[in-house]
């Protein structure tokens, strides 16, 4: 059996002989589920229940044993793209309390931060000081720099938004096309992070973990294995782009006040998403789904891509964590625990396209 | 406060210098890059042909002519990242640009490449591109620590943030912000899409099938009633906004003024932030568009320098554009808080 962070038993993981941690990201949940706060459910139970059904199916055989107690051991709190979803000081304390009571470790996720956002993030990190297993996922190097200077011992993770590589779902599957020049194919399937300058930064700032996306193009082997830091892989959404002017956040604003970067909103992202179907160039009629969640756009990766990446995870020396993002409706369901039967992570139209 | 102006041919130098350009920036794609990567991996944020120089002689001539007017030349290497192999290829290119062509600075987006450039060429000025997304004072400190000469702020920053970050940079870093023409809907430093082959995703989005989905679980239906109306209105406004940001369909006013993203109304405030320079975008634009853009900014900035009030400067900017309905819509504005 496989040891997890808390030495609970988990199902065997083919060949690698070591643990893969599963973290659950709840970017749209402002506070722990009420049932958890009331003591009617543990946070790890709530997190397990919130994993989208199809993602759970995909992960179950390898990482999430449905019967033997293995499950998520880390919760990711906060949004990777929007500082309006940054948890308040009070909220982070309640998350820390819930996590501690459930033996779940806490990752505070920070988006690319503005001046005000950075100040609030510093406050949130201060409120979490001393929390067991705490790590902070940073979305920009300015935040890394500031947090490292304030908290020399803090575990800082580079968020996936800092992993500079193209992942345009309209084209990414062609990045490794034999028709492209070999150097271009190579360049589109790796980042610049193995270059000496970037390595020097990783060392200078003591970064021991970086997050990566479930890329559509096949990443070069050294992009996975040629690093000193550990890797966390996200599922089921590929990050595509974001804006500081939010589409849904403009919903209730007057026309002249819509799409202003950093403008106030009613967190419409907790209530709505926008689904786009974007044509693939070439006139084949093929389309790609693009899901607008909050101020960001994601592509739900098809099962074939997910299965390929999970195959890589099972044999990787560097990948030791999977991060499953739970969309808003699923967190609503988690908030009303215990009622797992009500969980329906995505609207039917989206669900049909993701992993079905 | 200087005006940083795009240039894509040595013949544009005299015209732009004579109209108040204070700095030039350009792109350069050497033959060896094209041979290896073709058009599949862009060396900078423009395609390999449009807006880029491709001959060493042209870069040298451009720099020589610019220097004759006392104007420095910055060359942009602002792809979001370069692989180790690409960095090895670019280092001798940049060395030659600085030593032989007389280029004054390079603009980069890859933070690791910035570190390497500072180590290999300690005397070369390196500017941090807006694609590096310097949104907070921590990033300004970070870039100062790495030895960047200048930070170029992303377009999404408001006037208050620009002023605060200029304060944070004071005495350590030069600062630059956008004033005209560049219209990315997303945060460019975090946009992982490519314009190659597929075009700009942001421009494409309003025209593709889409729907607003409620996320209320099993019982949720489509947004109905008032919310349904708001959702429809939202997507209509989104289409308008993207159109305005995309240069109003790359159109011009009846008076020959290029439409599109604009910060003219904010020049009164921008002049008081401590910015080193203001950037006019558009390396790929026509010489005419470059010239008229420069003249517009110069005219309002001169007015501010002569003591015009905030309101007078903004009114003059709107009058100069002569597209009052576009200005009223606010969707062309970089700094909407300053719009009249």
Comparing CB atoms, the residue among B111, B190, B213 nearest residue A347 is B213
B175-193: average pLDDT: 94
Q: Which residue has tokens 């870069």?
A: B59
Query: Residue A35 falls within a domain, yes or no?
Result: yes
* DSSP letter for each residue of A278-343: EEPTTSS--EEEEEEETTEEEEEPPHHHHHHHHHHHHH-SSEEEEEEEPPHHHHHHHHT-S-GGG-
Phi, psi of A180 (to 5 degrees): -85, 155
A167-179: average pLDDT: 91
Residue A44 has pLDDT above 90, yes or no: no
Least confident of A39-53, A193-207, B282-296: A39-53
Least confident of A14-23, A79-88, A210-219, B328-337: A14-23
**Residue B220's pLDDT is what?**
56
Q: Do B87 and B61 touch, CB atoms closer than 8 A? A: no
Cβ neighbourhood burial of B39 (10 Å; 0-12, 13-18, 19+) = middle
Give the three-state DSSP class for A270: helix
Q: pLDDT tens digits, residue range B124-165?
A: 999 999 999 999 999 999 999 999 999 999 999 999 999 999
Smallest CA–CA separation between B281 and chain A, in Å? 19
In terms of pTM, does the model score above 0.90?
yes
Cβ neighbourhood burial of A351 (10 Å; 0-12, 13-18, 19+) = middle
Query: Residue A150 falls within a domain, yes or no?
Result: yes
CB atoms A329 and B197 under 8 Å: no
Residue of chain A with shortest Cα separation from B146: A201
Q: Which residue has tokens 């970086």?
A: A210
Pick among B35, B78, B135 to test the A interface (most A CBs inside 10 A): B135
The Cα A7–Cα A19 span in angstroms is 10
Q: pLDDT tens digits, residue range A117-133?
A: 999 999 999 999 988 89
DSSP state of B265: G
Pick among A244, A281, A352 to test the B interface (most B CBs inside 10 A): A244
Options 3.90.1200.10, 3.10.310.10, 3.20.20.380, 3.40.50.300; CATH for B2-191+257-338 is: 3.20.20.380
**Residue B217's pLDDT is what?**
55
CB atoms B186 and A241 under 8 Å: yes
Give the three-state DSSP class for A51: coil
Q: How many CA atoms lie within 13 A of B214 on its CB side?
A: 12
CB atoms B215 and A347 under 8 Å: yes
Domain of residue A306, CATH code? 3.20.20.120
Beta-bridge partner residues of B150: B127, B174
Q: Do B290 and B5 touch, CB atoms closer than 8 A? A: yes
Q: Is the peptide bond before A236 cis (omega within 30 degrees of 0)?
A: yes
The Cα B61–Cα B52 span in angstroms is 14
The Cα B262–Cα B242 span in angstroms is 14
CB atoms B191 and A241 under 8 Å: yes
Residue of chain B with shortest Cα separation from A271: B215
Report the domain count for chain A. Answer: 1
For residue A16, name the pLDDT band (cuts at 50, 70, 90): very low
CB atoms A344 and B217 under 8 Å: yes
Kindly list the residues from chain A whose CB atom is less than 8 angstroms away from the CB atom of residue B37: 181, 183-184, 187
Q: Do B188 and B130 touch, CB atoms closer than 8 A? A: yes
Per the model's pLDDT, the better-predicted residue between B77 and B223 turns out to be: B77
B312-320: average pLDDT: 96
For residue B279, name the pLDDT band (cuts at 50, 70, 90): very high
CB atoms A195 and B135 under 8 Å: no
Quote the mean pLDDT of chain A. Answer: 84
Cβ neighbourhood burial of B289 (10 Å; 0-12, 13-18, 19+) = buried
For residue A193, name the pLDDT band (cuts at 50, 70, 90): very high
**Residue A62's pLDDT is what?**
59
ipTM of model: 0.96
**Residue A214's pLDDT is what?**
95
> For the CA atoms of chain A, what is the radius of gyration?
20
**Residue A195's pLDDT is what?**
98
CB atoms B135 and A187 under 8 Å: no
Pick among A347, A351, A354 to test the B interface (most B CBs inside 10 A): A347
Taking alpha carbons only, the member of A178, A158, A174 closest to residue A166 is A174
The share of chain A scoring above pLDDT 90, in percent, equals 60
Q: pLDDT tens digits, residue range A231-282?
A: 999 988 999 999 999 999 999 999 999 999 989 999 999 889 999 999 999 8
Per the model's pLDDT, the better-predicted residue between A11 and A182 turns out to be: A182
The Cα B248–Cα B242 span in angstroms is 8
The Cα B38–Cα B31 span in angstroms is 10
**Residue B215's pLDDT is what?**
79
Residue of chain B with shortest Cα separation from A195: B84
The Cα A356–Cα B340 span in angstroms is 52
Give the three-state DSSP class for A274: strand
**Residue A64's pLDDT is what?**
58
For residue A50, name the pLDDT band (cuts at 50, 70, 90): confident
Query: Residue A162 falls within a domain, yes or no?
Result: yes
Smallest CA–CA separation between A133 and chain B, in Å? 25
For residue B91, name the pLDDT band (cuts at 50, 70, 90): very high
B249-268: average pLDDT: 93
Give the three-state DSSP class for A25: strand
Structure tokens at B240: 């308008």
Structure tokens at A3: 């040891």
Smallest CA–CA separation between B82 and chain A, in Å? 5
| Residue A345 lies in domain | 2-238+301-353
Q: Which residue has tokens 């109306």?
A: B229
Taking alpha carbons only, the member of A207, A238, A231, A195 closest to residue A312 is A231
CB atoms A168 and B37 under 8 Å: no
Q: pLDDT tens digits, residue range B26-48?
A: 999 999 999 999 888 999 988 88
* Residue boundaries of the structural domains of chain B: 2-191+257-338, 201-244
**Residue B170's pLDDT is what?**
94
**Residue A347's pLDDT is what?**
37
For residue B4, name the pLDDT band (cuts at 50, 70, 90): very high
Residues present in chain A in total: 356
**Residue A342's pLDDT is what?**
27
Per the model's pLDDT, the better-predicted residue between A20 and B176 turns out to be: B176
Q: Which residues contact A342 (CB under 8 A, 6 or more apart)?
A: A333, A336, B217, B218
CB atoms A272 and B214 under 8 Å: yes
Q: In this structure, how many other beta carbons lie within 10 angstroms of the beta carbon of residue B176?
A: 26
* DSSP letter for each residue of B94-128: HHHHHHTS---EEEE--HHHHHHHHHH-TTSEEEE
CB atoms A171 and B197 under 8 Å: yes
For residue A334, name the pLDDT band (cuts at 50, 70, 90): very low
Query: Residue A21 falls within a domain, yes or no?
Result: yes
Q: pLDDT tens digits, residue range A341-356?
A: 222 333 343 334 333 3
Query: Residue A180 falls within a domain, yes or no?
Result: yes
The share of chain B scoring above pLDDT 90, in percent, equals 86
Least confident of A40-49, A213-222, B303-312, B321-330: A40-49
Kindly list the residues from chain B whose CB atom is less than 8 angstroms away from the CB atom of residue A333: 217
B181-208: average pLDDT: 92
A307-313: average pLDDT: 86
CB atoms B111 and A197 under 8 Å: yes
Smallest CA–CA separation between A13 and chain B, in Å? 33
Query: Residue A223 falls within a domain, yes or no?
Result: yes
Taking alpha carbons only, the member of A115, A244, A118 closest to residue B187 is A244
**Residue B221's pLDDT is what?**
61
Smallest CA–CA separation between A241 and chain B, in Å? 4
> For the CA atoms of chain B, what is the radius of gyration?
21
Q: Which residue has tokens 């500072």?
A: B118
Residue A8 has pLDDT above 50, yes or no: no
Comparing CB atoms, the residue among B84, B196, B211 nearest residue A192 is B84
For residue A4, name the pLDDT band (cuts at 50, 70, 90): very low
CB atoms B119 and A261 under 8 Å: no
Residue of chain A with shortest Cα separation from B158: A261
Residue of chain A with shortest Cα separation from B238: A247
Structure tokens at B54: 């491709």
Phi, psi of B126 (to 5 degrees): -120, 125
Comparing CB atoms, the residue among A184, A271, A275 nearest residue B38 is A184
Kindly list the residues from chain B whose CB atom is less than 8 angstroms away from the CB atom of residue A140: 133, 135-136, 138-139
The share of chain A scoring above pLDDT 70, in percent, equals 81
Burial B65-74 (b: 16+ CB within 10 A, else e): bbeeeebbbb
Residue of chain A with shortest Cα separation from B234: A251
Pick among B35, B83, B203, B228 to test the A interface (most A CBs inside 10 A): B83
Query: Taking CB atoms and an 8 Å cut-off, how many pairs form between chains A and B?
Result: 268
Q: pLDDT tens digits, residue range A61-92?
A: 556 554 444 578 899 999 999 999 999 999 99
Phi, psi of B246 (to 5 degrees): -90, 40
Structure tokens at A55: 């993602």
**Residue A311's pLDDT is what?**
85
């Amino acid at each position: 059996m496989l040891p997890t962070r808390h030495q609970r038993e988990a199902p065997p993981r083919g060949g690698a002989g070591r643990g893969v941690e599963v973290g659950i990201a709840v970017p749209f949940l402002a506070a722990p589920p009420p049932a958890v706060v009331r003591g009617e459910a543990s946070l790890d139970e709530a997190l397990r229940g919130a994993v989208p059904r199809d993602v759970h199916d995909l992960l179950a055989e390898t990482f999430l044993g449905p019967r033997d107690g293995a499950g998520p051991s880390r919760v990711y709190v906060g949004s990777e793209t929007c500082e309006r979803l940054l948890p308040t000081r009070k909220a982070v304390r309640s998350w820390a309390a819930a996590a501690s009571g459930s033996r779940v470790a806490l990752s505070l996720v920070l988006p690319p931060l503005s001046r005000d956002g950075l100040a609030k993030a510093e406050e949130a990190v201060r409120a979490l000081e001393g929390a067991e297993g705490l790590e902070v996922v940073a979305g920009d190097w300015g935040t890394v720099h500031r947090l490292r200077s304030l908290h020399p011992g803090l575990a800082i993770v580079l968020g996936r938004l800092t992993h500079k590589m193209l992942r345009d779902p309209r084209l990414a599957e062609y990045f490794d096309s034999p028709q492209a020049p070999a150097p271009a194919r190579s360049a589109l399937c790796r980042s610049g992070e193995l270059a000496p300058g970037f390595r020097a930064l990783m060392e200078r700032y003591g970064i021991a973990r970086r997050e990566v996306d479930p890329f559509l193009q096949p990443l070069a082997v050294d992009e996975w294995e040629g690093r000193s830091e550990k890797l966390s892989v996200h599922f089921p959404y590929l990050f595509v782009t974001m804006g500081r002017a939010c589409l849904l956040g403009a919903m209730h604003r007057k026309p002249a006040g819509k799409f202003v970067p950093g403008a106030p909103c009613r967190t419409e992202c907790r209530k709505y998403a926008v689904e786009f179907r974007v044509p693939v160039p070439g006139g084949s009629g093929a389309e790609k789904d693009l899901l607008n969640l909050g101020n960001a756009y994601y592509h739900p990766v098809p099962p074939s891509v997910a299965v390929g990446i999970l195959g890589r995870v099972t044999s990787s020396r560097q990948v030791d964590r999977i991060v499953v993002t739970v969309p808003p409706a699923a967190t609503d369901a988690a908030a009303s625990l215990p009622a797992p039967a009500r969980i329906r992570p995505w609207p039917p139209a989206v669900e049909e396209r993701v992993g079905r | 406060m200087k005006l940083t102006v795009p240039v894509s041919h040595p013949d544009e130098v005299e015209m732009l210098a004579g109209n108040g350009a204070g700095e030039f920036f350009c792109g350069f794609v050497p033959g060896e890059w094209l041979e290896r990567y073709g058009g599949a991996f862009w060396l900078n944020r423009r395609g390999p042909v449009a807006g880029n120089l491709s001959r060493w002689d042209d870069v040298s001539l451009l720099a020589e002519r610019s220097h004759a007017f006392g104007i420095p030349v910055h060359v942009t290497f602002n792809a979001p990242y370069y692989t180790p192999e690409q960095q090895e290829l670019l280092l001798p290119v940049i060395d030659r640009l600085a030593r032989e062509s007389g280029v004054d600075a390079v603009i980069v987006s890859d933070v690791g490449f910035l570190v390497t450039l500072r180590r290999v060429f300690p005397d070369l000025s390196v500017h941090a591109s807006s694609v590096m997304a310097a949104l907070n004072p921590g990033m300004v400190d970070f870039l100062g620590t790495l030895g960047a000469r200048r930070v170029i702020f992303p377009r999404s920053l408001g006037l208050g943030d620009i002023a605060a970050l200029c304060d944070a940079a004071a005495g350590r870093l030069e600062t630059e912000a956008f004033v005209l023409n560049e219209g990315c809907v997303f945060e460019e430093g975090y946009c992982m899409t490519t314009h190659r082959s597929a075009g700009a995703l942001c421009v494409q989005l309003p025209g593709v099938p889409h729907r607003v989905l409620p996320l209320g679980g099993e019982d949720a239906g489509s947004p109905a009633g008032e919310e349904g109306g708001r959702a429809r209105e939202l997507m209509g406004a989104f289409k308008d906004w993207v159109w305005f940001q995309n240069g109003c369909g790359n159109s011009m006013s009846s008076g020959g003024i290029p439409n599109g993203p604009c910060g003219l109304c904010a020049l009164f405030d921008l002049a008081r932030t401590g910015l080193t320079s203001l950037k006019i975008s558009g390396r790929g634009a026509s010489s005419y568009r470059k010239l008229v853009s420069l003249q517009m900014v110069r005219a309002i900035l001169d007015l501010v320098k002569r003591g015009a009030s905030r309101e007078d400067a903004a009114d003059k900017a709107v009058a100069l554009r002569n597209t009052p309905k576009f200005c009223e819509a606010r969707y062309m504005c970089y700094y909407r808080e300053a719009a009249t």
